[in-house]
Amino acid sequence: MEHSQYHNESNYQYIADMATGFQNSQLLWTAIEFEIFTHIHNGTNTVATIATATNTDARAIERLLNALVALKLLNKKQEYYSNTQSATQYLVKTSKHYSGSLLHNSYLWDSWKTLPDVIKTGRCLANTPFHKKNKDFIKNYLSSYDIDIIVDKERLLNVIPLRNANSILKIGATGYQLSLEIAKKHPDIKIHILDYPEVIDVLSDILASEQQIENISFIKCNDMMDTLDNTNNYDIVFADYLLDVYSYKDSMRLLTNLYSNIANSGKLIFCMPIINDTRTFPEAATMNAITLLLNTENGDSYTFSDMWVLLKEAGFKDVEFTEVNDNLHIVLANKSYLG
């Protein structure tokens, strides 16, 4: 029997690419750290000039540049380098859609390298919560969830029922761009962003460059569970990537608390990845489940069934799911007009 019948090259390459995927990630992170794409965009486009601008070794930087050409992030003609369209759009710092904040993923390596030990013991070994990491990590983490890039912002705004809303509580500073957009388009709506003090301080610095927006305020909390005191009557409570960091029991407690702080006929909205009932799709949700395993005590990705039962048991009605893209859903639940 021929050897080719035993060996499928494309299947092998799929596995080989998976085994070496960390190399591509490290190349990208290093290029972002040294602002390679921004320097090239500004006309610094030879090995010698890039090495000088980045204060790096010319021999080493040339190998990095050539590898980026192989990855189709750079072009090379004779001794001159130029950005590809994708690099210009997403990796040049002056671009509207700059995604250099993806560098925060490099910090996740510290927890991901513990995967074998966590699989063996079932215990999270990460000892620093996200909000206790350094300011650069927090800034990059917040900016990496840029609504303009991840989803169609206008479509998302159309899903959120802003009509007749006077107050919104945004739990968590991620996706702050959406809050900013709502604040600009609806100056009559008061938006309150709640997060840990360290995160709010970083967000305040980020928003300092924006023109003064009077209808956004901040709430600093030390415990997401116990900050709200049941005296609020928000028309909309909006959150993303919130419940999945908690156990089912704690999520139930949090939802019950949120229910008490929403006005009658108010809305609770989540924008989040939802995993299917077999917990195998979409890929982003399965990776999120692993990240939560490595970085939280009890966090996990939630299924549609999980969300429906949790919201119903907390007292909400008319639970609706709207697909934003393959990896994100809007979950909308209503509080009865009778409370």
pLDDT bracket for residue 231 (50, 70, 90): low
pLDDT in tens, 191-230: 999 999 999 999 999 888 777 688 999 999 988 776 676 6
- Give residue 146's pLDDT: 64
Q: From 3.50.40.10, 3.40.50.1970, 3.40.50.300, 3.40.50.150, which CATH number describes the 130-334 domain?
A: 3.40.50.150
E-assigned strand segments in the chain:
74-77, 80-83, 167-171, 190-195, 216-220, 234-240, 262-272, 317-325, 328-334
Region(s) of the chain under CATH 3.40.50.150: 130-334
Classify 178 as helix, strand or coil.
Answer: helix
pLDDT in tens, 305-326: 999 999 999 999 999 999 888 8
Distant-in-sequence, close-in-space partners of 209: CB < 8 Å, separation ≥ 6: none
Q: What kind of architecture, by CATH, is found in domain 3-98?
A: Orthogonal Bundle (1.10)
Distant-in-sequence, close-in-space partners of 248: CB < 8 Å, separation ≥ 6: 306, 310
Beta strand 262-272 with 74-77: parallel, antiparallel or unpaired?
unpaired
Choose among 110, 129, 107: nearest CA to 118: 110
Region(s) of the chain under CATH 1.10.10.10: 3-98
Choose among 226, 227, 174: nearest CA to 203: 174
270 neighbors 240 (Cβ within 8 angstroms) = yes
The residue with tokens 């990705």 is 301
